[in-house]
Structure 1
Amino acid sequence: MTTSIHPLDDPNSDPFEVARAAAAQIAEKTGVKSHRIALTLGSGWAKAADVMGETVAEIPASEVVGFSAPAVEGHVGTLRSVALPDGSHALIIGARTHFYEGHGVRRVVHSVRTAAAAGAKVMVLTNGAGGIKSHWSPGTPVLISDHLNLTAASPLEGATFIDLTDLYSTRLRDLARSVKPDLDEGVYVQFRGPHYETPAEVQMAKTMGGHIVGMSTALEAIAAREAGMEILGFSLITNLAAGISDSPLSHDEVIQAGKDAESVIGDMLAKVVVAL
């Protein structure tokens, strides 16, 4: 019995060609030719899709080439096309492949490359994460101002040199603050995972200038910049990072913090998207 190789696992495949094929399938299955903006909705952020506009189509991500069902509770596993008030459409990505799943960077950033191929000029990346600033309580949304990529990997292949200055767009962060003026911001640190960081690792991240720790987003942001998109990043602080608080870390508590905050942050994010 033989099984077919995943198209992004074949070293001879062109990941951008796979993304274009995925975008064509999304256009066919949703009936929407182009999407102006794309959002990857991490833990706690999914409700935004329900309130930002009318859903015109929703499909299982696993039906689109290159995508897999999500391996993490808190991700919905669908691709959704939402009609925005200005008549354009948003592509809502509820299927995120995390680096710690071991499938390689190509599959981690496939959703971003597909969004670009689907016409998106803005990529909104969201996540649930641990906070290093002690005054951030669980349920606090913060803007990502920059990142530290501690995965020892990159989505760029070969001699591809991409400028990451202003990776998380100052313009878009200013627009977000026009909706919610008290939004704080910080530097996101992506670790490989899936284990949570030790207190010593959190202190290392803090010393290096980090304020938020998690297991996603940075690799996706790099791929989005390579694809020419403007990027807006949000973290939902689901817990204080290890050693910042005396409490042990729990994935169940992370999921619950996201559920408790989702209606408030979903409404906020929907308003930001309308303003973009």
Structure 2
Amino acid sequence: MKGCVGLVLGSGLGSMLDRMEWGETLDFGDIGLPVSGVAGHQGKMVLGRLDGAPLVAMSGRVHLYEGHDAKTVTAGIRWMAERGVGTVVLTNAAGSLREDQPPGSWMALSDHLNLTGTSPLEGGPNFVDMSAVYDLEISEKLRAIAAGHGWHMGSGVYAGLRGPQYETPAEIRMLRTLGADAVGMSTVLEALEAKRLGLRVVGLSCLTNYAAGMPSATLDHSDVMATGKSAAERMIRVLKEWLESR
């Protein structure tokens, strides 16, 4: 596994596993990782290949809103790092705050706002430089590959909140003022832990809905999963081409 890519799959994105050649499958509970009770998070590590490229796929994650702390939420990142994963791609389902990035589109994370009120780095003097959390070189490669397939992948700032409730229209206006382009309930803590461990970090948001207060906004978890599943196929093609070029 040394030097291979780790892929964390968000809500509705587990269908990406259907395109992998599976080697070993490990249930979270059997390897000491916490198990999520949220629909769309299967709770397993898949060690395999995507068109010949080695890949570790983490299907599902646990969240703060389930009652876990920041250390527990990021246990899967440490598990992958301990086994030699050098680059981690964090995917999530997110609400779009921009009308030019509609549901069904993808956004590469350029930065984030940690509004969860916690950090996996608590408990010690972990003064990690967060000037460049996300690897923009890889993100730009992915965006270029997407453009080559004829579709636009945006770029922007992801606001990570605790949840589980969806945001109010007033909160969305606040997030826009703070500079957010998308909002969700995961990813930022994983990114912090991965950065601390020296991994290259890529963040990809599947924009599954417009945020509260925007035209045509629908906030329902089943819709989130359905939109994520339909958008996953395009991202699979981009990831495959990027993995082949590494």
Q: TM-score, normalised by structure 1?
A: 0.82
Q: Is the 8 A contact 2:13 2:225 kept in 1?
A: no
Counterpart residue identity of residue 155, structure 1: P
Shift of 1:260: 2.5
| Structure (1/2) with the larger strand percentage | 2
Counterpart position of 1:238: 208
Correspondence 1:203 to 2:173? yes
Correspondence 1:166 to 2:132? yes
List aligned pairs for 1:178-193, cutoff 5 A.
Answer: 178-181=144-147, 182-193=152-163
Counterpart position of 1:102: 67
Q: How many residues align?
A: 241
**Aligned-residue identity in percent:** 35
Shift of 1:255: 1.5
Partner residue of 2:109 out of 136, 144, 165: 144
Secondary structure, in 3 states, of the residue corresponding to 1:168?
coil
Distance 1:34 1:45 in 2: 25
Q: Is the 8 A contact 1:49 1:82 kept in 2?
A: no
Counterpart position of 1:63: 30
Correspondence 1:216 to 2:186? yes
Superposed CA RMSD in Å reads 1.7
Counterpart position of 2:224: 254
Distance 1:97 1:194 in 2: 12
Correspondence 1:47 to 2:23? no
C-alpha spacing 1:246/1:138, structure 2 compared with 1 (3 Å): closer
| Consecutive unaligned residues in structure 1, runs of 5 or more | 1-32
Structure possessing the higher radius of gyration over alpha carbons: 1
Shift of 1:170: 1.2
Counterpart residue identity of residue 231, structure 2: A
Distance 2:112 2:98 in 1: 15
Counterpart residue identity of residue 48, structure 1: M
Structure 1 stretches of 4+ with a deviation exceeding 6 A read none
Counterpart residue identity of residue 102, structure 2: S
Q: Is the 8 A contact 1:48 1:270 kept in 2?
A: no
CA offsets 1:207-235 (integer angstroms, 9 cap, x no match): 00100000000010000000000001100
Counterpart position of 2:6: 38
Distance 1:198 1:81 in 2: 39
CA offsets 1:42-66 (integer angstroms, 9 cap, x no match): 1232233333x4211112121111x
Correspondence 1:78 to 2:44? yes
CA offsets 1:118-154 (integer angstroms, 9 cap, x no match): 1011010000000000122211011011000001101
Shift of 1:259: 2.4
Q: Is the 8 A contact 2:209 2:218 kept in 1?
A: no
Secondary structure, in 3 states, of the residue corresponding to 1:180?
helix
C-alpha spacing 1:90/1:34, structure 2 compared with 1 (3 Å): same
Counterpart residue identity of residue 5, structure 2: I
Distance 2:2 2:153 in 1: 31
Counterpart residue identity of residue 206, structure 1: R
C-alpha spacing 1:177/1:264, structure 2 compared with 1 (3 Å): closer
Distance 2:191 2:35 in 1: 21
